[in-house]
Structure 1
């Protein structure tokens, strides 16, 4: 596969579907020789409820799961292709250098030496006629790393400032931070739950997929005993590098924690406490590990949760808190842009990981290539 001349800009598609299981973020971006992306078009495609339920079920062992996972991967590939067609909207597929597709995580077990993101990249290449780069995490794990988070390398490329100590916080299903000091190494790790527990709890009690603006959480009252119990989670005490997922933070764990308190707590009060849990675990990580932070910029779905953003501001009174919109990138599209950029890194045979973030033994070229 030939590499384009270094002076040319190429167009890439980035696809992201995260642990929130809400849908597909798709971006079209032009990336030139500096590696800085220019966002051209965006599209969002919601998951059907049936697929969301199937993917959620596949996070735990079940009968015939290999077959069910393969069928889900095929359905995902068809949805990814649909998102790409809507994104291009008449733009010729031949003008796109590659699609960077994260895939849908079903298992993330770096301690056991593996991670699994499904999406049938071969079928996606067949359906779109565009080269697909996928399976970005596995090579980092093979090199002894966590395989996540991978977006800090992109944050460093696109959002670092030479004179301001910034932290980028992505609040998706899981929350992660990227520390971008003026001097010193770029670091990043998952701080704990983002929207995952909030979304699951409101789905159970109100049938909604998410708590719009954090309104339900704001209607409740923080329960100090529950917050203290949640904050005892062993993951929070681990030093970076580290990564988390549904394996650590899920409704089963929440139910056990609630049962241990032996008292009735209203659902709204639980939601209020879960919001505080997300906010304080993130803020504590910034205070403890990112000393001297001047500005925190939030992306991901959590950027739209007004109650959550307000709590983060209160917990970090000496830090300017805003969304990445203040830096010129809409918070909804940062992760998808990162995977467009990671696809470019792969095709240019350039490392896409940061060993200081993932704990890998060194820089690695990430991803598997499925040519068109």
Structure 2
């Protein structure tokens, strides 16, 4: 970086619903700039990943287990922070704040709460940098969904009013429609059910390049049963997560199939891929009909089978955010760096047109270094 240029560094950290790892970026956000200076990823230890998944459902000694998992996650975050600082050659004191979303284990805005496992005070202590966390709660308190969080960032980085939408393919798929006003909402599962199914049957955390799904065939009866889920018919604003789209949800529909019609495991994987593709494409047609180009990001954007099927199903052009200068894997972490800056500067970043809240809110809580 040029020595005479004043930069405003922020770090963003994201461990999404796929629970595969932590993505981090160190970004320069000076004067409206959104420029990545360093990026890093860290796979979650198997024990922590399994515990985070287990904590999505009721179980024994949940409070203590959640606190211990939060500490372990914060330690992973701190490792990524150190890697970013080393890459960029910056001391911790130069970074204004870290945006750390935490790991969502309950999301029930209709009941007035959302829970993200995190230990931001521990992260601030270990990193020596202020932390902004708990990004959803204030919007939920204002009657909103608390999700998705990133549409305001998408508009700032990728422009608005160009017939463009940003599609995040994480565990859950969410779509930002870059119109005026900006809109955003979840469309349903992206990788979450596929990841859970391949973990159960092959003990693999995800379907590398979609190869297992490509070996199967979509089971029309199962797909039809999955599509009867009432949530898909809800109008935005809406959000979802593992509270609904779990293996228990899938198993119930498999068990309800007529006798002798239970598909092979690979066929279930192919059907889950088709479910994600069809619900995304249907959402674009119904709720973003003026979209001419979809920019994909997140882990699913690196799955060629997923992307090819999506390109065939969408009524518009599909590309990735790489074409606009942001690697697909960096977008979510970069968004949380931007959201941390918005909090520090007192700028509302949760948009009522996205979440359905009564008014715009400043996202996050501040933990000083």
Structures share fold, TM-score greater than 0.5:
yes
Alignment of 1:29-178 (within 5 A): 29-34=27-32, 36-89=33-86, 90-162=89-161, 164-178=162-176
Correspondence 1:310 to 2:308: yes
Aligned length: 361
2:183 aligns with: 187
Moved more, 321-330 or 8-17: 8-17
Cα drift, residue 91 of structure 1: 2.0
Conserved? CA contact 1:235–1:248, under 8 Å = no
Deviation at 1:213, TM superposition (A): 1.3
How far off is 1:326 after superposition?
Answer: 0.8
Q: Hey, what does 1:28 align to over in structure 2?
A: 26
Equivalent position of 1:16 in the other structure = 14
Once residues 25 and 243 of structure 2 are traced to their aligned partners in structure 1, the CA distance between those partners, rounded to angstroms, is 29
Question: Does structure 2 conserve the Cα–Cα contact (< 8 Å) formed by 1:27 and 1:87?
Answer: yes
What stretches of structure 2 of length at least 5 have no aligned partner? none
Question: What TM-score do the two structures reach when normalised by structure 1?
Answer: 0.95
Please tell me whether residue 236 in structure 1 is matched to residue 232 in structure 2.
yes
Distance 1:132 1:77 in 2: 11
Report the Cα distance in structure 2 between the residues aligned to 1:345 and 1:363, rounded to whole angstroms.
13
Shift in Å at residue 161 of structure 1? Answer: 4.5
Displacement of 1:212 in angstroms is: 1.2
Q: Give the distance between the partners of 1:157 and 1:8, measured in 2 at CA.
A: 21
In the TM superposition, what is the alpha-carbon distance from 1:9 to its structure 2 partner? 4.0
**Paired residue secondary structure (2:243):** coil
Alpha-carbon distance in structure 2 between the residues aligned to 1:231 and 1:64: 35
Alignment equivalent of 1:283, drawn from 265, 281, 284: 281
Instruction: Name the structure 2 match of 1:222.
Output: 218
Matches of 2:213 and 2:98 in 1, distance apart? Answer: 38
The match for 1:260 among 249, 256, 269 is 256
**SS of residue matched to 2:31:** coil
1:73 CA displacement: 0.7
Q: In 2, Cα distance between the equivalents of 1:161 and 1:136? A: 23
Secondary structure at the counterpart of residue 256 of structure 2 = helix
Secondary structure of 1:40's match? strand
Q: Is the CA contact 1:8–1:33 (under 8 Å) kept in the aligned structure 2?
A: no
Match for 1:247 among 224, 243, 246?
Answer: 243
RMSD over aligned Cα, in angstroms? 1.1
- After TM superposition, the score normalised by the length of structure 2 is 0.96
Query: Alpha-carbon deviation of 1:48?
Result: 0.4
